């Protein structure tokens, strides 16, 4: 049994699938800092069919083991592979990079290495949870620096580029739905960031603003206002307010508020 199987069984209490040992050479290459080929090629090189590392239905136990090792044994920056997937792995932003290309930009994993040092035209950006709100704000304010969080899509390209941008001095302010899922996503994203102060992250979606928006615009829904574990204390307070009121507010309800808040924050010299 190789060290990856030993780690998996010790951590999960589950037995590895029969083909698990065939993946050890792939994991060894990641540990050595090598870039792996696309998933289908990885599978074939491991003596599997091309779909077994791409399709969760092809060989479910092996697929789950493969994903678990990538997620729990390796750090995100260690998992380097040539991606054959361009859709669903994008970083979507507007007016952040110094380019004359039409905005917004949908950037894929193939572009990531160059983007890590690509010149920036802004040192502030507003992260928008929902695609539709991002599109609306960009259409009405085409010069604003915006980042589309795309809901719960915390893909590796997005997270690596976000960490790179904050390391280069970009300030992030966050806006999302005021319900259990929205606060949970904000908490997850903040936990993934490494240099962004919570005061900046919640400069727009502050505890006071959340309480006011719930009082003014809140809709009753016990399911969307239920409690859940939240790590960041100020986001914990926001969910406490949502749970106490028994109400939620969607981003689409706050567009008028957003326009004033975002412009004021972007104009502020910090």
pLDDT at 94 over 70: yes
In a domain, 183, yes or no: yes
**Residues 46 and 115 both lie in one domain:** no
Domain boundary among 53, 78, 103: 78
DSSP string, 28-59: HHHHTTPPB--HHHHHHHTTS-TTTTT-TTTS
The distance between the two most distant Cα atoms of the chain, rounded to a whole number of Å, is 60
| pLDDT tens, position by position, 111-120 | 999 999 999 9
In a domain, 238, yes or no: yes
For residues 103 and 142, the answer to whether their CB atoms sit within 8 Å is: yes
| pLDDT tens, position by position, 5-21 | 999 999 999 999 999 99
**Residues 16 and 99 both lie in one domain:** no
Parent domain of 70: 3-78
| pLDDT tens, position by position, 42-86 | 888 899 887 889 889 989 999 999 999 999 999 988 898 876 554
**Residues 205 and 95 both lie in one domain:** yes
pLDDT at 157 over 50: yes
In a domain, 168, yes or no: yes
Report the pLDDT value the prediction gives residue 186, as an integer from 0 to 100. 97
Of the ranges 104-118, 138-152, 197-211, which is most confident? 197-211
Average pLDDT of every residue of the chain: 92
Report the pLDDT value the prediction gives residue 133, as an integer from 0 to 100. 87
pLDDT at 87 over 80: no
**Residues 15 and 112 both lie in one domain:** no
**Residues 71 and 153 both lie in one domain:** no
In a domain, 85, yes or no: no
In a domain, 40, yes or no: yes
C-alpha distances (whole Å) from 134 to each of 18, 97, 139, 207 are 46, 17, 9, 22
**Residues 103 and 192 both lie in one domain:** yes
For residues 174 and 201, the answer to whether their CB atoms sit within 8 Å is: yes
Domain boundary among 78, 101, 122: 78
In a domain, 83, yes or no: no
Of 115-124, 175-184, 190-199, 249-258, the range with the lowest mean pLDDT is 249-258
What band does 130 get if pLDDT is binned at 50, 70 and 90? Answer: confident
Please give the backbone phi and psi of residue 222, each rounded to the nearest 5 degrees, phi first.
Answer: -60, -30
In a domain, 137, yes or no: yes
**Residues 61 and 189 both lie in one domain:** no
The number of distinct structural domains making up the chain is: 2
**Residues 131 and 257 both lie in one domain:** yes
**Residues 153 and 21 both lie in one domain:** no
């Amino acid at each position: 049994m190789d060290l990856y199987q030993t780690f998996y069984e010790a951590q999960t209490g589950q037995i590895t699938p029969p083909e698990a040992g065939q993946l050890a050479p792939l994991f060894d290459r990641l540990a050595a800092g090598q870039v792996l080929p696309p998933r289908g090629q990885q599978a074939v090189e491991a003596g599997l069919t091309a779909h077994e590392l791409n399709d969760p239905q092809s060989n479910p136990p092996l697929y789950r083991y493969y994903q678990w090792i990538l997620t729990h044994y390796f750090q995100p920056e260690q998992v380097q592979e040539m991606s054959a997937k361009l859709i669903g792995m994008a970083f979507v932003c507007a007016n952040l990079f110094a380019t004359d290309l039409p905005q917004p930009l949908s950037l894929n994993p193939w572009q990531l290495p160059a983007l890590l040092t690509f010149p920036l035209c802004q040192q502030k950006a507003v992260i928008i949870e929902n695609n539709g709100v991002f599109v609306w704000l960009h259409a009405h304010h085409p010069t604003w620096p915006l980042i589309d969080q795309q809901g719960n899509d915390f893909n590796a390209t997005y997270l690596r580029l976000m960490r790179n941008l904050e390391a280069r001095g970009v300030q992030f302010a966050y806006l999302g739905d005021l319900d259990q899922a929205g606060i949970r996503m904000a908490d997850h994203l903040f936990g993934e960031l490494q240099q962004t102060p919570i005061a900046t992250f919640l400069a727009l979606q502050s505890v006071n603003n959340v309480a006011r928006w719930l009082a003014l615009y809140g809709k009753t829904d016990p399911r969307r206002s239920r409690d859940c574990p939240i790590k960041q204390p100020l986001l914990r307070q926001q969910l406490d307010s949502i749970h106490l009121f028994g109400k939620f507010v969607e981003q689409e309800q706050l567009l008028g508020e957003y326009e004033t808040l975002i412009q004021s924050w972007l104009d502020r010299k910090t």
